[in-house]
A and B are shown apart, each in its own frame.
Chain A
Amino acid sequence: MDERRRELTINAVLALGLLAAPLVALAVDEPFYVTLATRVTLLALAGVGLNLALGLGGMVSFGHAAYFGLGGYVAGILAHHAFNGTPVLLGLPGTDQMIVIWVVAMVLAGLLAAVIGALSLRTSGIFFIMITLAFAQMLYYFMLSWPAYGGEDGLPIFLRNGIPGLDTMRPWDMFVISYGVLLAALALFAMLRGARFGAALMAIRQNPDRAAAVGIAPFGVKLAAFAASGMITGLAGALMADLNGFVSPAMMAWQTSGELIVICILGGVGRLFGPVAGAAILVGFETVFGGLTQHWQLFLGLVLLLVVLFARGGLIGLIAGRQRHG
């Protein structure tokens, strides 16, 4: 139980540290770092989505950029039509309300993940990795070549979408929104993991034949987890587009999928706060070494190599041991 307490401690440190960072930045009047903390928060949120499929279900999706980018385009396209006062399609108007955008982003990303999952979950291993990659690249090239929403130039969001009662243009408000959504996603992740659904999902990851032999059909459980995973990552994409004021096909590119996997591995696959730790490491390297050299990813690559070779459980595993606790 000592390891369990250590994991709870590091979780608390990460949660409070992520909250403290922008407060300190505000106190010393460095709003840039508030936005940086928001970026960590939203990458972590996207990672929590992937962690549901990858960590709990063992589904190595190399195409989560599709859901991330789809969420981003939902925010961009709805804001675009709200700004221009034109209908999106079939006379439906756009919107500049974040909460509406989130719901649409989650529904569409969940549907996309359900379709892609239904077609790819019959395979496993390298085939699953390649099929998820292929679907995401299809979407990437589609957005790249579709001129209606900017094509390869991307689509700007001129006015950040809003939430009643908050000023989303203020960095702190945007951080608080993102942080709240991240905490909600983490709570959902912990709840699913502890419930019968999570028990079935983690059992299927370890031994699908055994799960079937006690009467749990693996396919449906994996598909449900995959769809939920896509929803969370899609929500993160919608928020990220709003944070950046911009959405482009790059959000859907395979590099983004790779980054999300890296985030999970660095922090600890399957660990509740793994993506939070991983996103902090990634953005930290990007900021510190990115200022020194263009080739900052070299340093990240070295760390990734060390983690894979010597610390399979990522940062959380290094501190709290191999076993997976709350």
Chain B
Amino acid sequence: MAEPVLELSGVSKSFGALAAADNVALTLMPGEIHALIGPNGAGKSTLMALISGRHTPDAGTIRFAGRDITGLSVARRARLGLGRTFQVSSLIPEYTALRNVMLALQARQGHPYRFVRPVRRDRSLTGPAHDLLARVGLAGRAGVPSETLSHGERRLLELAVALALAPKAFLLDEPMAGLGADGARTLTAFLDGLRAEAPILLVEHDMDAVFALADRVSVLASGQVIATGTVDEIRADPQVRRAYLGDGEEA
């Protein structure tokens, strides 16, 4: 059996008396889309923060690409190949779409302590950045500051920035949030193809997208993973229906 790209074991994190993550075990296998669902307050955001390095767990270990990353900083984890998007778009507001992607590309190419060569004329940055924008459908918006892009365009730019890292795993936090039905369908098709590049851990409220994309689904409730399985298994799981889809009622 293949090694998991990302593996959480026994991960716990409390804020005061609240156990936001409680002994969580989770794996992300090569080539899969693993969806993480759960009601509001279930601990999805905390789990994403623990994986990305924003929080450090109180207990447990996180392994990524064959090494223990439990104690590493956000930046170190990103350099190891963890490409993430944020639940609320988080870009460099005054930078154009192109420069947002160029920043990720330069970080992937090495340390930022390069003081002489201007980035504007650096073909190793501008070339791939244009390609990536074209790939997410933002070719015509390269010169627009990200703060003046539309909400949907910013979601796509987040994705282009994550792609620029050529990550070993994607960590996507509600990429569909705020997109219209058309946008969500386009993005679903895009993510479907993306899993061939790197596996995706997907937090998403859009159940159509989750059921269409996910190879496996984990259900989080009160900080615990209460079930993991295929879409059909999760739909049939009585515990899940109680905790998430509503007490015994058809969802």
- Evaluate whether A203 and B119 lie within 8 angstroms (CB atoms) in the complex, with A214-B165, A215-B78 already known: no
How big is chain A's contact interface, by range?
Answer: 20 to 34
B118 near A214 with CB under 8 A, answer no
A206 vs B96: C-alpha distance when bound (angstroms): 13
Contact B75 A196 (CB under 8 A): no
Q: Interface digits, A196-240 against B, CB 8 Å rule (1 contact, 0 not)? A: 110111110011011111111110110010000000000000000
B103 contacts which chain A residues (CB < 8 A)? 199-200, 203, 211, 214, 216
Output the nearest chain A residue to B79 by Cβ-Cβ distance. A215
B74 touching A194, Cβ below 8 Å? no
A47 CB, min distance to chain B CBs, angstroms: 21
Inter-chain contact A213/B114, CB cutoff 8 Å:
no
B161 within 8 A of A: yes
Q: A203-B103, A212-B74, A214-B107 are in contact. Are A197 and B90 (CB under 8 A)?
A: no
Whether A195 sits at the interface, judged by CB under 8 Å, is yes
> Is the CB–CB distance between B112 and A324 below 8 Å?
no
Instruction: Chain B residues near A214: list those with CB within 8 A.
Output: 78, 103-104, 107-108, 161, 164-165
Q: Does A111 have its Cβ within 8 Å of any Cβ on chain B?
A: no
Say yes or no: B118 contacts A194, CB within 8 Å: yes
Partner of B112, one of A194, A200, A213: A200
Q: How far is the CA of A210 from the CA of B95 in the complex (A)?
A: 12
Considering only CB atoms, which chain A residue lies closest to B74 in the complex? Answer: A212
A135 to chain B, nearest CB (A): 25
A305 within 8 A of B: no
- The reply to whether the CB of B219 lies closer than 8 angstroms to some CB of chain A is no
Chain A 291-326, CB within 8 Å of chain B: the 1/0 string?
Answer: 000000000000000000000000000000001100
The residue from B54, B119, B165 contacting A215, defined by CB atoms under 8 A apart: B165
Mark each residue of chain A from 48 to 76: 1 if its CB lies under 8 Å from any CB of chain B, else 0: 00000000000000000000000000000
Provided the pairs A191-B115, A213-B74, A213-B84 are in contact, do residues A196 and B90 lie with their beta carbons within 8 angstroms? no
A319 CB to nearest chain B CB (Å):
19
**Range for the number of chain B residues in contact with chain A:** 35 or more
Contact B119 A199 (CB under 8 A): yes
Please give, as numbers and ranges, the residues of chain A lying within 8 Å of B74 by CB-CB distance.
209, 212-213
Given A191-B115, A197-B113, A214-B103, verify A209-B120 contact (CB < 8 Å): no
With a cutoff of 8 Å between Cβ atoms, the chain A residues found around residue B91 in the complex are 207, 210
**CB neighbours of B54 from chain A (8 A):** 209
Q: In the complex where A206-B94, A211-B103, A212-B73 touch, is A196 in contact with B114 (Cβ < 8 A)?
A: yes
B90–A210 CB distance below 8 A? yes
Is there an interface contact between B84 and A196, defined as CB atoms closer than 8 Å?
Answer: no
**B123 CB within 8 Å of chain A:** no
Residues of chain B with a CB closer than 8 A to A218's CB: 75
List the B side residues contacting A213 at CB < 8 Å.
52, 74, 78, 84, 86, 90
Chain B contacts for A324, CB-based, 8 A: 94
Within the complex, what minimum Cβ distance (angstroms) separates A186 from chain B? 15
Flag if A199 contacts B75 (CB, 8 Å).
no
A195 CA to B111 CA in the complex, in Å?
12
CB of B45 closer than 8 Å to a CB of A:
no
Q: Taking CB as reference atom, which chain B residue is nearest A206?
A: B92
Give which listed residue, A194, A206, A215, contacts B108 with CB less than 8 A: A215
CB pair B75–A210 under 8 Å, yes or no, is: no
With contacts A194-B120, A213-B78 known, is A200 near B94, CB below 8 A?
no
Chain B residue at minimum C-beta to C-beta distance from A199: B119
Question: In the complex, A224 Cα to B111 Cα: how many Å?
Answer: 13
Q: How far is the CB of B98 from chain A (nearest CB, A)?
A: 12
Residues of chain B in range 53-110 having any CB-CB distance to chain A below 8 Å? 54, 73-76, 78-79, 84, 86, 90-95, 99, 102-104, 106-108
CB-based contact B78/A203 at 8 Å: no
Complex CA distance for A216 and B165, rounded to whole angstroms: 12
B115 to chain A, nearest CB (A): 5
| Nearest chain A residue, comparing its CB with the CB of B118 | A194
Tell me if B116 counts as interface (CB < 8 A to partner A).
yes
Determine the chain A residues whose CB is within 8 A of the CB of B116 once the complex forms: 191, 195
Query: Which one of A196, A217, A220 contacts B119 once the chains associate, using CB atoms below 8 Å?
Result: A196
Which residues of chain B are near A201, meaning CB under 8 Å?
Answer: 112
| B114-141, CB < 8 A from A | 114-120
How many Å from the CB of A213 to the closest CB on chain B?
Answer: 6
- A residues neighboring B (CB under 8 Å): 191-192, 194-197, 199-203, 206-207, 209-218, 220-221, 224, 323-324
Q: Could you tell me which B residues sit within 8 Å of A by CB distance? A: 52, 54, 73-76, 78-79, 84, 86, 90-95, 99, 102-104, 106-108, 112-120, 161, 164-165
In the complex, given contacts A191-B116, A211-B92, A324-B94, what are 9 additional A-B residue pairs having Cβ atoms less than 8 angstroms apart? A192-B115, A195-B118, A197-B114, A200-B112, A207-B90, A209-B90, A213-B78, A214-B165, A216-B75
Q: List the 3 closest pairs (A to B, CB-CB), nearest first.
A: A215-B78, A200-B112, A217-B75
Q: List 21 A-B contacts (CB under 8 A).
A: A194-B118, A195-B115, A195-B117, A195-B118, A196-B115, A197-B112, A197-B113, A199-B106, A207-B90, A209-B86, A210-B92, A211-B75, A213-B74, A213-B86, A214-B107, A215-B108, A215-B165, A217-B73, A217-B76, A221-B112, A221-B113
